[in-house]
Structure 1
Amino acid sequence: MKKLLVLFLFFQMLTTAAFAQQYKYHIVKRGETTADIARMYNITEATLFKYNPDARNGISPETKLVVPLTESVRQENVKFEIHRVKRKETLFSLSQQYGVEIEDIKRFNKHLYSQELKRGEKIRIPVNLPVVEKEATEKSVGNPLDLTIKEHVVLPKETLYGISRKYNITIADLQRLNPNLENLQPGMVLKVRNGSFEKVVDVEGDLFKYYQVKPQETLYRLTKKFGISKDSLIELNPALADGLKSGMVLRVPNVELYEEGDFSEENLVNLENRLNNFRTKNLVVMLPFNLDKVVKTDTSSNSAERIRKDKVMQISLDFYSGVLMAVDSAKSLGITTNLRFFDTEQKAEKVRSIINTNDFSNVDAVIGPLLQSTIEAAASSLERQNVPVISPLTKKQAGSMGNFLQSRPTDEMLSEAMISYISRNASGKNIIIIADAAASAKKSRLLAAFPDAKTVNPREGSYLNEAELAGALVAGRPNWVILEASKIGVLSNATSYLNSMADKFPITLMTTDRNNSFDSDNVSNRHLAKLKFHYPSVDRAFSPEKSRSFVKKYEEKYGVIPNIYVIRGFDVTYDVLLRLASAEDLYASIAQEGMTQYVENKFDYEMRPTGGYQNKAIYIMAYDKDLNLNVVE
C-alpha cells in the first residue's frame, strides 16, 4: 500500500509539472525586438530563444513566436504603460511619477534586478495593480529581546546560518541573544525566538536566493558576483547601509551561472545568457604565419619540415584553428562574424603596414599579434581609432595605451596571487622558505609577507642539508614549504627529501613561480603529488576529461586532440565575441560584466592606472595523490 501511495504521488507530481506551464503565440509587430517581447511576458531573452531558436538571427513583423506564460502573467490581468527612459530618470522617480512601487516595476522588468536603467530603453509600468495598504507600524520595539525566548540545542554540523533560517531570524539577532557565542559546537544551548524583528523574508519563487557573506568579501566583489548594482543590493538588504559584515545573510538575485564543463565558481558570469547585440562582429586576427618563408621553399615536404621546425608558426596555426572553432561556436548562438586574418611575419613594420593599407574604421576588436614588439605596434597604430587590441600570450605590460587589453596575467600577478592565497590560509601553519640564489628577490618578498617563516638555504648552490630541513619541520602541525628555485638540482633535491619525510610530517609544497625546471625528468611528479604541490596558473591545465564536448568537436574536425594554444585561441576569441554580443562594445562589456570562464581560461579585466586593461583572473592549482590537477581557488 505504501509503495502504491508513493507511485501515486510521483505521477501526480509529474502530471502537475506537465500541465503547469502554459504557452501562447505572439505575433511580432513592426519595431518590436526580442528584448521588448521578453519584457512584455516577464521572461528573459534566453528563455524566448529556447522556444524560438530562429529568433537569434532576427525577427520580422507578423512572425509567430511561442511564449511561455509565467505565473504572474497568467494570474494577473495587468495593464501596462510602455515608458521610454529619459536622461537622469531613476526607478525612484518613475515610481513617484506612476504611483507604483519600485519592486513592482522590477517585477515586470526582471533585468532591472541586476542592471541599471538605460537611457532610451523601453520598460513596462504596471498601471492597474491592486493597492495594498501598508500595515500600520507596530508599537515601538524598544528591546527586541523582550519577545518569548526559546532554547535550541545545537546538532552536529549545524551552522548559524541554518539555525537562523530555522527560526526565521538573522544571524545578527542570534548573536545579540547569545553575546558570548564564539565557536558553534554540538550540544551547545542557544537562546532563540521566532522571528518578527528584522524578519528574514521568504524568497520570491526562484528569483532570489540567500547568500551568507564570507570573510574578507567586499561590497564590490558581491556586486560583480551577482551581477547587481550597489544601490540595488542595498535596496534588497537595507542593513548594508551600516556596512558589510562577515556572516550576514543577504537576499540576492538567483543568477544562473555558466555550467558548461567543470565550472563551480560562484562569481562567474555566463555571457551566453546576456546576448543582446546581434549585429555582425568585425574581427581581425593578426598572427605570425611567416607564409613568405614557406612560399620560398621548393616542395611540399620542405614546407612541412619548415612548419615542424618553426615553433612560432606551429603556435600560430594551432591558435588559428582555435579561433575558427570559437567563431563557429558563436555562430550557433546567432552571432555572425566577419573575420579577417593578417600575417605579421614577426615584424613590427609589417604590422604598421597592414594597418596603414587596410580599413580598420569598423573593426570591433583585433586579436594578436603574438609577440611583444608586434602587439605593441598594433595597439599603438590603432590607439587613435580606439580599436581594442587583445594580446593573447604576452606577459609584459605594454606602455600606457588605452586600447591595449592584456589577456594573460603577468608573472608578478601570479606570484602576488599565490602569496595572497598563502596569507589568507597561513593561520596555524609552519611556513618554511627554500630559495636558490637566483630567487633572492622572491625570498625577500616572502620574508616580508611572512616574517615568522623559517628558511633553509641550499648549500654549494644546489644541495640541501637533509638534517637542517628535517629540523625546520614540525610534527603534528601543517608544514607549508615554499620552494623558489630555477635550478633543477635544488628542485630535485628538495622534493626528494620532502617526499621521504611526508609520512612523518604533514607537508604541503608550494611555489609562486612554477617555471620550466619543474617539468624536468629529474623532478618526480609522484613526489609533487604526494606533497600536494600548489602553484599559481593562468589556465586550468588542460584536461580532455573535463572538456570532453570541446575536445570531441575539435577531434572530429581536425583529427587530433587540441593543445594549449588551440584552447587559448578558442577561449580568448569566444570571450571577445560574447562580450561584443552582450554590450555596445568591448569596453562597455568590461565595465558591465564580471568574470568569465571557458574551456581552460578565465577573464576578469580591470582598468590599469597607466592605461589599458589587464586580465586579473588567476587559478591556484594543486595536485592530489592520484596526480590529478585540481583548482583550489
Structure 2
Amino acid sequence: MNKFFSVLCLILLFGFNTVEAQNYSPHKVKEGETIESIAKKYLVTPSDIYSLNPDAKKELRINSVLIIPKSKLPEPKITIVKELEGFKKHRTKKKETLFGLAKRYEITVEDLKKYNKFLYENPLRKGDKLQIPIFKITEVEEPNGLTKTYTVLPKEGKWRIAYKFGITVKELEELNPEMGAVLQEGAILNVPNIEDDEEKEVDEKYSYYKVLPKEGFYRLKIKLELEQAELEALNPILKEGGLKAGMVLKIPYSDLADEVTEFNVESVNLTDSIVDFNTKHLVVMLPFRLNRVDFDSIPDIKKSIEKDPYLNASLDFHSGVLMAIDSLKTLGISLKVDVYDTKNELSEVKDIIDENDFENVDAVIGPLIVKNFEEAASELRKYNTPVVAPIGTKLKLYENVFQSRPSNNLLKKKIVNFVKTDTLATNIIIISDTENETVSKDLKKEFFHARQIRSRKDKEGVDKYFVSKEDIQDELKPGKNIVFLETQDGGFASNVTSILASLIQKENKEEEKEAIEIMLVTTNINSAFEGDEINNTHLSKLQFHFTTISKTYNENDNNAFVKKYNKIYNVTPNNRAVKGFDLTMDVVLRLVSSEDLYMSADKALLTEYVENKFAYKQKLFGGYYNNTVYLVKYDDLTIVEVK
C-alpha cells in the first residue's frame, strides 16, 4: 500500500511540474468554491478552465484538482492610499535618528519632515518635540480587465442584466456589493468584461426560467417539456459551462413558465423612493348596491348589510382603502379619490365610465366582480388607464390589467419547488383521497420515487376518507420524510395528521431505534386544515408547510395599521380590509415612485405590506399578474413565514 501511495505522489508531482513548465498551475477545489470564483482568483475566464477540465461542466467536486492556464491579463496593480487620521507626540531622545523613528512608527522620513517642517533646515536634536502622523492605510486594486462598467437602462432589473452578461443574480450582486434592491436608470454597475456582440438581449417573445438547486436536464425535461438539445440551442452557454442553479434560461414562450418563474428578490420600501408629489387621481369601483339598503333606521341598515354579501365585502375593503389614503397623506402625497357604486351591474359600469372623465385617471382599483372588472378594463383600454383587480385569477389580461391575486398554479409550484430543494429529505409520501387522485398523479410525476397512499374505500368503491396507522407506517423511512396531504375533507385531514404526529420517533440507541422525522405539506390549503376537527398541536409537531396568497399578521408585532384600525372601528381588521389597505398603498406608492404604474411593474419590484406582497410580471402581448406568494409553516402553534 505504501508503495502504491509513493508512486501516486510521484505521478502527481511529475504531472504538476510538467503543468508548471507549460505555464499551467494546479488548483485543489475547496468547499464553497465555484468555477466563477476560481476563474476570478486566477484572472482567467470560466471558458479557459472548462477547455482544460471538461468534466468540471458536469460536476465540481471538492478536493478534485483542476488545471488552470496562465492568465493573459497582467497582475492587478495595488495602490497604497494613506489617509491622515491624526498625530502622536514624541520627544526625541539621545541617539535617535529620523531613519530610526520612521521605521519605529512605520512611516517615511519624508512623512516626518512634511509634518515637522523645521527638519528640512535643521538636524534632529535631543528634546525636539515632533508630530508623528497617524495614517489609515488602504490598498486599492486597479481594474484587472475582468470587469467593465455598465449603465442601467430604463425598465432593467437585476435578472435582465444578469441574463445579458451570462451570470446569476447572486454573482451580479457580488460584483456590486453596494447595489440596492431596486436598480435606478443610469446607475453604474460592474459586469463581466465580454464583447458587445456576446451580450444577450431579453426577447419578450420568449419566457425565461430560473434554474433551481439540484435541477438537471432530466427534471427540466419533465417540467418544461424541452430536451437538452433544445435548451442548449436557445442557451449556447449550456454547452460551455453546463447547467447550474440560479442561471436564467431562455425558453419558448409559455404561460406555465411565466407563472412558475418566481425571482427571489428582497422587498423594497417605496416610501423611501417618492419622487413625484403631483396630485394623483385614483378611482375605486365597488358593488355597494346602496340602492338596496333600507335607510329607515339603524337596525334596518345593519340588517341590509348582514343580508347583502356584496355590500359587506365592499364596506370592509373600502375601510382599508380609507386607512391607506390617510396614511399616504401623512407621507405628503396628494390624492384625488373618486369612489363609485357599480351596483354589481354591467350597465352601471358602462354609465360610470361614459359619464365621467377617465382620461386623466392614474389608476382604477376594482370592480370586485370579474365580469364587471373585465368590462371596465375593456372600456378603459382606449385611455390606457391601468385597472387593478383586487380578486380573481383567471381574468382576461388586457394590456391595462393588473391581476393582484397570484394564480393557484403558482401556489402549487412554490411548495413543489421548496420540497425539491430540501437536501435532507430521504423519503417523499403522497397521501390523497379519491377527489384528489389527479393531484396525486401530478405530484408523482414531479417526485417519481415518491410512495402513494390513498384513502380506504368500502366494498362498493365509495371513499371512506381514512387510512390506518399501518398504511403510513409501512412507507416511512429513517431520516426526514416529507408527506404531501391532498384533501378537502376535514375528517380525513384530522385522521392523517393525528397518525403522522404519533409516528414521529426520536433516536434511541439503547433500543436500536433510528430517528424518524416527518414534515407535512400540501399544495392546496383549505378549510380541511383550518376547521374544528384538525388539531393545531399536530400541525405544529409536523412543521406543516403550505403556500398562501397572504400571510396573517401577528398581533404581537404591534402593527401600526392594525392598532389604528382597531381604534377607529373598534374591531380587528379582516382580510378584506387588510387587502384594501395593502393594495391601495401599493398602487399609489408605485405611482409616486415611478413614471406610472406600467414603469413600476417593468422594474420587477417586490413590495410588501401588512399581509400581502406584490411583484408584477407582464404576460406576452397582455397585462400584468402578481408573481409572488408566501411560503409559511406552523411553528409552536403560530404560523410564520419561511424565508
TMscore range, shorter length: 0.5 to 0.7
Amino acid at match of 1:464: V
For 1:425 and 1:485, the matched residues in 2 are separated by 23
> What is the deviation of 1:513?
0.4
Q: Name the stretch that deviates more: 590-599 or 280-289.
A: 590-599
- Within 5 Å, which residues of 2 pair with 1:29-178? 160=33
Task: Tell me the SS of whatever aligns to 2:555.
Answer: coil
Out of 386, 389, 406, which is 1:388 matched to?
386
RMSD, aligned CA: 4.3
Question: How much has 1:246 moved relative to structure 2?
Answer: 6.1
Shift in CA distance, 310/526, structure 1 to aligned 2, threshold 3 Å: farther
> Against the structure 1 CA distance between its residues 466 and 149, is the aligned structure 2 distance closer, same or farther, given a 3 Å change threshold?
closer
For the residues of structure 1 that align with 2:412 and 2:419, how far apart are their CA atoms? 11
The aligned residue for residue 330 of structure 2 is 332
1:414 deviation in Å?
1.2
Q: 1:542 aligns with which of 515, 538, 553?
A: 553
Structure 2 counterpart of 1:375, which letter? F
Distance change >3 Å, CA 247–CA 237, structure 1 → 2: farther
Match of 1:89 in 2: none
> Shift in Å at residue 273 of structure 1?
2.5
TM-superposed deviation, 1:312: 2.9
SS at match of 1:350: helix
AA at the equivalent of 1:417: K
Residue aligning to 1:18: none
Q: CA deviation at 1:556?
A: 3.2
Q: Secondary structure at the match of 2:452?
A: strand
C-alpha separation in 2, matches of 1:506 and 1:230: 49
Tell me if the contact between 2:425 and 2:482 (Cα under 8 Å) persists in the aligned partners.
no
Q: 1:459 to 1:388 in 2, by over 3 A?
A: same
Deviations 1:174-206 (CA, angstroms, capped at 9, x unpaired): x99999996769xx99999xx9978699699xx
Give the aligned partner of residue 495 of structure 1: 497
Aligned to 1:293: 292
Q: Distance in 2 between matches of 1:479 and 1:237?
A: 42
Letter in 1 for 2:616: Y
Of 583, 596, 603, the residue aligned with 2:607 is: 596
CA offsets 1:275-327 (integer angstroms, 9 cap, x no match): 22221110000112221122x35321121132234333222212112111222
1:606–1:614: 8 Å Cα contact kept in structure 2?
yes
- Cα 1:318–1:336 change in 2 (3 A) is same
**Unaligned stretches of 5+ in structure 2?**
1-18, 79-139, 143-148, 150-157, 174-179, 200-235, 247-263, 458-462, 506-514
For residue 421 of structure 2, the aligned residue among 404, 424, 433 is 424
Offset of residue 552 of structure 1:
2.3
Partner of 1:471: 474
Greater C-alpha radius of gyration = 2
Corresponding residue for residue 182 of structure 2: 227
Cα deviation, residue 393, structure 1: 1.8
Q: Are 1:513 and 2:468 matched, yes or no?
A: no
Conservation of the 8 A alpha-carbon contact between 1:168 and 1:200: no
Match of 2:364 in 1: 366
1:276 is aligned to: 275
Letter in 2 for 1:489: G
Is 1:170–1:200's contact at 8 Å kept on the other side of the alignment?
A: no
Q: Quick one: structure 1 residues 423 and 556, their matched pair in 2 at CA, closer, same or farther if it must change by over 3 Å?
A: same
Q: In the aligned structure 2, how far is the partner of 1:487 from the partner of 1:582? A: 46
Over 3 Å counting, the alpha-carbon distance change for 1:538 and 1:293 in structure 2 is same
3-state DSSP of counterpart to 1:459: coil
- CA distance 1:376–1:247, shift in 2 (3 Å): closer
1:629 to 2:639 alignment? yes
Alpha-carbon displacement from aligned partner over 1:97-121 (angstroms, at most 9, x marks no partner): xxxxxxxxxxxxxxxxxxxxxxxxx
Q: Kindly indicate whether the alpha-carbon contact (under 8 Å) linking 2:604 and 2:616 is maintained by their aligned counterparts in 1.
A: no
Query: Tell me, what secondary structure is at the counterpart of 1:506?
Result: strand
Deviation at 1:226? Answer: 4.0
Q: Do the aligned partners of 1:169 and 1:199 also contact (CA within 8 Å) in 2?
A: no
Checking the alignment, whether the CA contact within 8 Å between 2:389 and 2:401 is kept in structure 1 is yes
Deviation at 1:421, TM superposition (A): 2.1
Name the CA distance, whole Å, in 2 between partners of 1:145 and 1:581: 61
Aligned pair count?
456
- Equivalent position to 1:605, from 586, 604, 616: 616
Separation of aligned partners in 1, 2:302 and 2:430? 48
2:193 corresponding residue in structure 1: 238
Q: In structure 2, what is the equivalent of residue 32 of structure 1? A: none
Q: State how far apart, in whole Å, the 2-side matches of 1:542 and 1:623 are.
A: 14
| CA pair 203-380 structure 1, distance change in 2 beyond 3 A | farther
CA distance in 2, matches of 1:483, 1:247: 28
Shift of 1:539: 1.0
In structure 1, what is the Cα distance between the partners aligned to 2:187 and 2:341? 48
Contact 1:144 1:197 in 2 (8 A): no
Q: 1:586 aligns with which of 594, 597, 613?
A: 597
Instruction: Quote the Cα distance in structure 1 between the aligned partners of 2:606 and 2:548.
Output: 16
- Residue aligned with 1:272, SS: helix
The TM-score with structure 2 as length reference comes to 0.62
1:63-104 deviations in Å (ceiling 9; x for gaps) = xxxxxxxxxxxxxxxxxxxxxxxxxxxxxxxxxxxxxxxxxx
Aligned match of 1:350: 348
2:444 is equivalent to residue 447 of structure 1: yes
Show structure 1 runs of 5+ residues with no match. 1-141, 209-213, 249-264
Alignment check: 8 A CA contact 2:426 2:477 kept: no
- Within 1, Cα distance between the matches of 2:311 and 2:400? 26
1:620 pairs with one of 631, 637, 640: 631
Contact 1:414/1:536 (8 A) holds in 2: yes
For residues 574 and 483 of structure 1, the distance between their equivalents in structure 2, rounded to whole angstroms, comes to 36
**Residue pair 1:151, 1:191 contacting (<8 A) in 2 also:** no
8 Å CA contact 1:171–1:247 kept in 2: the answer is no
Structure 1 residue 229 displacement after superposition: 8.3
1:143 CA displacement: 7.9
In 2, distance between residues paired with 1:489 and 1:150? 60
2-structure distance, mates of 1:511, 1:144: 59
1:409 match: 406
Secondary structure class of the residue paired with 1:472: coil
Once the two structures are superposed, what CA deviation does each residue of 1:449-488 show, in whole Å capped at 9, x if it has no partner? 1111100000022011221211111012x11101111122
* Maintained 8 Å contact 1:219/1:230: no
